[in-house]
Structure 1
Amino acid sequence: MRLNACFLGVMFWIGAAHAQTDPAEAARQAGLRLEQAAVALSEAEGARDRVRALTVTVKAYEKGLAAMRDGLRKAARREAQLTVRLRAREEEIAQLLGVLQTIETSPPPVLLLHPSGPLGSARSGMMLAEVTPGLEAQARKLSHELQEVQTLRVLQQNAAETLEQGLAGVQVARAELSKAIADRTDLPRRFTEDPVRTAILISSTETLDGFASGLAEIASGEISDLDVDVSDLKGSMTLPVQGVLLRRAGEADAAGVKRPGILLATRPRALVESPSAATIRYRGPLLDLGNVVILEPQPDTLVVLSGLQEVYGEPGQVVPKGTPVGLMGGAAPEIGAILSLSGDGTGTDRSETLYIEVREGDSPVDPETWFRTDKDG
């Protein structure tokens, strides 16, 4: 009975382990994505539209690094689970190995002796013939689990080089993207900003409401009409950055302050894009909101993005959907920091916040009437 309990316990343990997905394969696939991003970076040098090519490259790096982080987290969890199970079943495993060793090393005459005589010997031989293949099968499965633990440990040890290359690559891609956007001359313009009028408007307003209502004053001349209607995008626009919804419109923050916009948690240095074709009405520091980009996708509708560290483009430019308009702040994580996050999954890697406000006419509206927030970016 004791042997049967051991046998069934080990079989259940191994079966449950195999029912899970393969975290090692997930981490390997993430490594391939980073390698593909490196290839895309080299090819972007000769692309006709370098901004578009580099945008794709930066996003590929971001997704590859996120996948690598997730893969390492799963690998660490899997390795920990297997280690705990191995330690918890040390006695049963020792019994299993002991029985197998006895079967392999006992001389035939000893195996044939039984206190009940020839009939007992025959019965024990039949039982042994039935049990031995099962024990050997479980031993093979146990060996496989032990090998998996070793593979996961080696995978985590070797991840440092892949991460180092990925972090270096995305840094280069972001720098190249900033330069390509600064050199861009092919975008249409609806107006040219007057820096003096902009400075006067900023100094004379104390709220976002007041600044937004006075945006027409920053142009040196008339602002050409924009005959565009994006109302059909309501409720389906993609968020401008990969992130997690922290606070909805009207929800109070830790200080009890309620704002009409939503707040997203993002990873450091994440790329922020225009969610639709839009005119850049303003970009730069504003009030207590940090660096701000104000986009106008259609007349009398503004999308305000605040909390960026770097902002791209020039006021008056009409940018296509998906055009980078800035980068989030924070320091790019070190390899050690990423590896230390591999075991928790608490979201502590999303240390930056982007505030999004949508204004129709002179009033803010709930951004979730425009943006899809039901998915983790």
Structure 2
Amino acid sequence: MTNRAAGLLLFALISFAAPLQGQQAPAEAAQAAADQLEAATVALEAAESARDRVKALTGTVRAYEAGLGAMREGLRRVARRESQLLTQLKSREDDVAELLGILQTIETSAPPVLMLHPSGPLGAARSAMMVAEVTPGLYARAEALRRDLEEVQTLRLLQQNAAGTLEKGLSGVQEARTALSAAIADRTDLPRRFTENSVRTAILISSTETLTGFASGLAEIAGGAEKITPLSVDISAQRGELDLPVEGLLLRGFEKRDAAGIARPGLLIAARPRALVSTPTAATIRYRGPLLDLGNVVILEPQPDTLFILSGLAEVYGSAGQVIPAGTPVGLMGGSAPQAGAILSLSGEGGGTDRTETLYIEVRMDNSPVDPATWFRIGKGG
């Protein structure tokens, strides 16, 4: 064996590092997401006969949303892993070819040829010792290369199979949302603190130009009631621990200026199209519907003199005066749900690119805005 060949063998042992820890994680994550979507399909079938269909269907929609989100992330990880492997294999293409040639020579050369060496018997002995030391390591690296190639093949097959899983999941979540909307409309078991007076509501909307003005006049929309009896609850102990009404990412914080230089006393959350929006705690619906330039708005009163104002929804559920339990859906975000092909085409992009809708959250106490971050857990989302 020449010094150059021996050097290449040593280079192989160094450059072919041990396989990455947890290299199967991307594929496992995508498969786990597929299992989540399958479980959501089973839950949808069971929800049809559930005693509390609203609760069951709410859980089903959330299961689908979680499964689809996990599938997106799993496919991103699969795409990144595949790209990483292909880049590594491409960068070593020439070295791999030469090393495989050396390996083939070692395997096929007759013993007398291997014993020949320009330096004579001593050089031959030294070469033989070097070959004996590095050949097992070389074969181990060749085995690692084989595993990498097999992983690339597995990842590609997984991406191909994901299309059918996504189609089924997207169809299922749409069916679940439709069923949930119908179940909420048919619901008659919720307590009611007041009945909305539509004429007074219209007058209030037309006579106010700000959210503050509307919030201060909310008592006027209760038909025939001079004063609404407040809920006898105190959720102050939950401040800072409430879940956001929608699963999403924080875009802009309290009193932060937007692109137009306008600072708003609330949070802006980026959410996925058609995401479910729910009340984080038991509350009275004080108003729901279009308001000013805010689009569809839901105003919730979880305790006396405290309002959670949510705007930017495409659809709103329930009616003013109803007292709804924690976790009850109050609407859906807008936008169009992506097709399976669109999700697959975006599988290599970073997280957050599919959160195209925005929910504005404002909290008012004694009719003055406070930082919603003092009430909600504000994380990085998922």
With the length of structure 1 as denominator, give the TM-score of the two structures.
0.96
Partner Cα separation in structure 1 for residue 177 and residue 137 of structure 2 = 57
Partner Cα separation in structure 2 for residue 264 and residue 154 of structure 1 = 35
* Structure 1 residue 150 corresponds to structure 2 residue 153: yes
1:89-115: CA deviations, max 9, x gaps? 111111210111101111222112233
- Which one is further off, 62-71 or 3-12? 3-12
* Match of residue 56 from structure 1: 59
Q: CA 1:3/1:62 → structure 2, altered by over 3 Å: closer, same or farther? A: farther
Deviation at 1:122, TM superposition (A): 3.0
* Match of residue 320 from structure 1: 325
Partner Cα separation in structure 2 for residue 200 and residue 9 of structure 1 = 81
Partner Cα separation in structure 1 for residue 368 and residue 297 of structure 2 = 18
Assess if the C-alpha contact under 8 Å between 2:73 and 2:351 holds in 1.
no
- Which one is further off, 363-372 or 260-269? 363-372
* Structure 1 residue 24 corresponds to structure 2 residue 27: yes
Structure 1 segment 67-216 matched on structure 2, within 5 A: 67-216=70-219
Deviation at 1:288, TM superposition (A): 0.4
Q: Which secondary structure state, in structure 2, belongs to the residue aligned with residue 210 of structure 1?
A: helix
1:34-79: CA deviations, max 9, x gaps? 1111111111111111111111111111111111101111111111
1:330-377: CA deviations, max 9, x gaps? 000111221122111152200000000001112111111111113415
* Match of residue 46 from structure 1: 49
Amino acid of the residue matched to residue 353 of structure 1? T
Q: CA 1:11/1:71 → structure 2, altered by over 3 Å: closer, same or farther? A: farther
* Match of residue 363 from structure 2: 358
Q: CA 1:10/1:282 → structure 2, altered by over 3 Å: closer, same or farther? A: farther
* Structure 1 residue 285 corresponds to structure 2 residue 311: no
Deviation at 1:27, TM superposition (A): 0.8
Deviation at 1:8, TM superposition (A): 5.0
Deviation at 1:9, TM superposition (A): 4.7
Deviation at 1:80, TM superposition (A): 0.8
- Which one is further off, 201-210 or 15-24? 15-24
* Match of residue 17 from structure 2: 15
* Structure 1 residue 349 corresponds to structure 2 residue 354: yes
Aligned counterpart for 1:271 among listed residues 261, 276, 280: 276
1:200-229: CA deviations, max 9, x gaps? 111111111111111111111333332111
Q: CA 1:267/1:112 → structure 2, altered by over 3 Å: closer, same or farther? A: same
- Which one is further off, 259-268 or 154-163? 154-163
Partner Cα separation in structure 2 for residue 33 and residue 206 of structure 1 = 46
* Match of residue 260 from structure 1: 265
Deviation at 1:277, TM superposition (A): 0.5
Q: CA 1:42/1:4 → structure 2, altered by over 3 Å: closer, same or farther? A: farther
* Match of residue 330 from structure 1: 335
Structure 1 segment 235-254 matched on structure 2, within 5 A: 235-254=240-259
Assess if the C-alpha contact under 8 Å between 1:281 and 1:315 holds in 2.
yes
1:170-212: CA deviations, max 9, x gaps? 0001111111111111111101111111111111111111111
Amino acid of the residue matched to residue 369 of structure 1? T
Amino acid of the residue matched to residue 54 of structure 1? L
Partner Cα separation in structure 2 for residue 117 and residue 210 of structure 1 = 100
* Structure 1 residue 368 corresponds to structure 2 residue 373: yes
Assess if the C-alpha contact under 8 Å between 2:13 and 2:137 holds in 1.
no
Question: Aligned residues: percent identity?
Answer: 68
RMSD value over aligned CA atoms? 1.6
The number of aligned residues is 377
- Any gaps of 5 or more consecutive residues in structure 2? none
Q: CA 1:190/1:78 → structure 2, altered by over 3 Å: closer, same or farther? A: same
Deviation at 1:5, TM superposition (A): 5.2
Assess if the C-alpha contact under 8 Å between 2:12 and 2:138 holds in 1.
no
- Which one is further off, 297-306 or 359-368? 359-368
Partner Cα separation in structure 1 for residue 37 and residue 359 of structure 2 = 26
Aligned counterpart for 1:304 among listed residues 277, 291, 309: 309
Assess if the C-alpha contact under 8 Å between 2:18 and 2:144 holds in 1.
no
- Any gaps of 5 or more consecutive residues in structure 1? none
Partner Cα separation in structure 2 for residue 126 and residue 254 of structure 1 = 70
Deviation at 1:85, TM superposition (A): 1.2
Deviation at 1:14, TM superposition (A): 4.3
Partner Cα separation in structure 2 for residue 288 and residue 58 of structure 1 = 29
